[in-house]
Structure 1
Amino acid sequence: MSAPASAEPTSRSTSSWVTAGLSVAFVLAWSSGWIGSRLGTQAFTALNLLSWRMVVLCPVAVVILIITTTPRPNSARRMPAGWKQQVLVGLLSQVVYTWGAVAAVQYGVGVGTAAVIAALQPMMTGAIASLILKETVKKREWTGLVTGLAGVALAVSGDLQGGAAPAWAYLLPFTAMLALVAATLIEARRPSQRPVAERLSIQVLVGAIVFVALAAVTGQFVGPHLSNGDFWVTVAWYVVFSITGGYTLYWVVLRRTSATRVGTLIYLTPPTAAVWAWLMFGDTLTGMTLIGFAVVAVGVALVFLDASSKKV
C-alpha cells in the first residue's frame, strides 16, 4: 500500500519539471515576437505582414479542424461547443494584441517602450484575476509582480524614448496589453476542453479573416512577395516562433499554472528579446540591461517559488 503514496510526490515533481520546461520554451518563443516586429516593420506594414502570416497558416488550420471536428453520423450540424469562446479569444489575442504590438513599432514607438507598456499585463492580470477568478494573489506575489515590472523598465531603459512617435501610437501597445489580459481571463475562467491545436486553428482563421479584410480595404494586401526573401523570412519567423510556439505554449502553460503566473512570465520576454537582438543584430547588451534581467528574475522567482500558492 506504500507504493501509491511514494508515487504521488514523484508525479508532482515530474509535472513541475515539465511545467518549468514549457515555461522556458514559452519565454523564448514569446520574446521572438519583438524580433519579428523589428524584422518586419523595417520594410512592410503591420497589416500586410500579419495578413500573410495568417494566410500561410490557414491550410494547416483547416486540416486540423477537419480532423478534430469530424461530424458523427446522423448528428446535427452545429458549431462545436466552445468555438464561440475561441472566436472571441482569437479576436483579442490574434488580432488586437498582435496588431497593436506590431503597429506600435511601425509608427515609431521604440521596442523597449512598447515592451514596458506590454509588461503591465502581469500586474493587470493579477489584479483582475483576484477579483474575477478568485485567484489568491499573495503579498509575496504582488512584491514579485512589482519587482518584475521594475526589472523590465531597467532592462529596456536604453531603448526608452519620447517624441519619436505620435501620441496616439502609444495607445497601441496599451490596448494590445489589455486585449491579451482579457483573452487570458476568458480562457482561465472557462477552460476549454477542446484540443489546443483546434483552439489555435480557430483563432488563426479569425485572425486571417479580419487581417485580410482590413488589408484589402486599405490596399495593403499586396504580394505575394515571391522575390522578397526578407518578407518570407519574417513571415516564417512569426509562424514558427510566435504562433506555433508562443501562442500554443501560452495556453498550455496557462492550463498548468494560473493567469497570474503565466502573466508573470511575460516579464522575462523583453530582456530575452534583448539577448535575441544581441545575437541577431549585434545590439549592445548594457550593464543596465543585465541588471534589469537579474531584477526580473528575482521578481519572477518571488511569484513562482511560493510553494503554497495553487492554481484555482
Structure 2
Amino acid sequence: MNFFLSVAFVLCWSSGFVGAKLGTQDAGALTILMWRFLPLAAVLAVAAAVRRRTAWEGLTSRDPGRQAVIGLLSQSGYLLTVYWAIQLGVSSGTTALIDGTQPLVAGALAGPLLRQYVSGRQWLGLCLGLVGVALVTSADAGASGGVAWWTYLVPFAGMLSLVAATFLEQRSRTQVSPTVSLTVHCVTSALVFTGAALASGSAAPPAASSFWIAIVWLVTLSTFGGYGLYWLALQRFGVTRVNTLMFLMAPVTAVWGALMFGEPFTAQTAVGLAIAVSAVAVVHAAGGSPARSDDTTAPHRNLARAVRDGSPSRR
C-alpha cells in the first residue's frame, strides 16, 4: 500500500511541472493559478460547510489560521515561483532540479527542528539522489543559457517556501485532517491569486481550449493528486522519506516531457533516473524510526507525537 502511495504521489506531483508548461503556453502565471484555485476553492468551501460537524470538530480558532499560513507557504508561494520561473524561461526540467534539492535542505533541518535526525545511510541516499537529479537536468540547464542568472533564484525561493510549510505543519499541536487542510489551503490560494490577478489586470482567461485542458489537468492531477497525497504521505512516512521521493520528480518530469512534448529522453536521462531510484531505495531501506530526543516535557509532547506518528514503525 505504501509503495503504491509513493508511486501515485511522484506521478501526480511531477504532473504539476507539465501542467505549468501546458498552461503558460496560453496565459501568464497569475491567470492560470487564479482559475486553477477559484472554482476549486468554491467547491471545497461548500463541502466543508456540509461536513463542518465532522471534519472540523475539535479544532480551535487558531488552527484554521495556522493552516492558512501553511497554505500560503506551501501552495501560494511555492506554485507562484514555479510558474513564474517557467514563464521567465527556466525550463521545467531545471525548475524540477532546483525543487529537487528540497530533501537536502529538509534533511539538514529535520534534526534541530523536529528531532528527526538523519542517519549516515540516509545522507548517502540524499546525496546520491542529488547526483541523479543533476545528471537528468544538467543538459537542460545548459540549454537555457539565455536566461538571466537571477531567474534561477525564483524556484529556489519556492523550494524554501515548501520546506518552511512542511516543518510548520509537523510542529503543529493539532492533527488536522487532509480534507480540512486542503480546503483552507485552496481557499487561501484562491484569495491570493484572484486578488493578484485582478490587481495586475490578468484575470480574464484566454479563449483557447488548451488553457482549460491545462486547468483540468492541474486541478485533478496536481492539486487533488500531488498536493493531497503530499500531506497524506507526510503523515505516514515522515519528513525525510517523503522529501527523498522529491528526487524522482526531475527524472519523471523528463519522462512526462518525452511522452507529451516529444522532448528527448537520452541515455543520460536513463542513468539519472536509475540513480535517483537507487537513492530512494537507500533511504527507505535505512529502516527504523528517526532518532530523537527523549525530552517529552510539555512544550514538546505534541511535537514528539507528530514525529512518532510519522515514523515507519507506526505505519
Distance 1:68 1:152 in 2: 42
Could you tell which deviates more after superposition, 51-60 or 79-88?
A: 79-88
Percent identity over the alignment? 40
Distance 2:173 2:92 in 1: 32
Query: Aligned residue for 1:124?
Result: 105
Match status 1:57 vs 2:44: no
Query: Aligned residue for 1:193?
Result: 175
- Number of aligned residue pairs: give it: 288
Match status 1:267 vs 2:247: yes
Change (3 A) 1:191 1:123: farther
Query: Aligned residue for 1:113?
Result: 94
SS at match of 2:164: helix
Query: Aligned residue for 2:271?
Result: 291
Specify the code of the residue in structure 2 equivalent to 1:160: A
Distance 2:258 2:2 in 1: 28
Specify the code of the residue in structure 1 equivalent to 2:201: G
Query: Aligned residue for 2:284?
Result: 304
Q: Structure 1 residue aligned with 2:200, among 218, 221, 229? A: 218
Could you tell which deviates more after superposition, 156-165 or 96-105?
A: 156-165
Distance 1:191 1:32 in 2: 32
Match status 1:253 vs 2:236: no
Q: Structure 1 residue aligned with 2:152, among 159, 170, 179? A: 170
Distance 2:145 2:136 in 1: 21
Distance 2:131 2:10 in 1: 18
Quote the offset at 1:81 in angstroms.
5.0
Specify the code of the residue in structure 2 equivalent to 1:99: L
Quote the offset at 1:221 in angstroms.
0.7
Distance 2:222 2:119 in 1: 31
Match status 1:83 vs 2:64: yes
Structure 1 regions of 5+ residues with no counterpart?
1-17
Q: Structure 2 residue aligned with 1:45, among 18, 28, 31? A: 28
Match status 1:28 vs 2:11: yes
TM-score (norm 2): 0.87
Is 1:152–1:270's contact at 8 Å kept on the other side of the alignment? yes
Query: Aligned residue for 2:300?
Result: none
SS at match of 1:269: helix
Is 1:27–1:268's contact at 8 Å kept on the other side of the alignment? yes
Cα distance per residue 1:6-60 (max 9 Å; x no partner) = xxxxxxxxxxxx2221111000000001101111112210011001100120221
Change (3 A) 1:136 1:172: same
TM-score (norm 1): 0.88
Quote the offset at 1:79 in angstroms.
6.2
SS at match of 1:163: coil
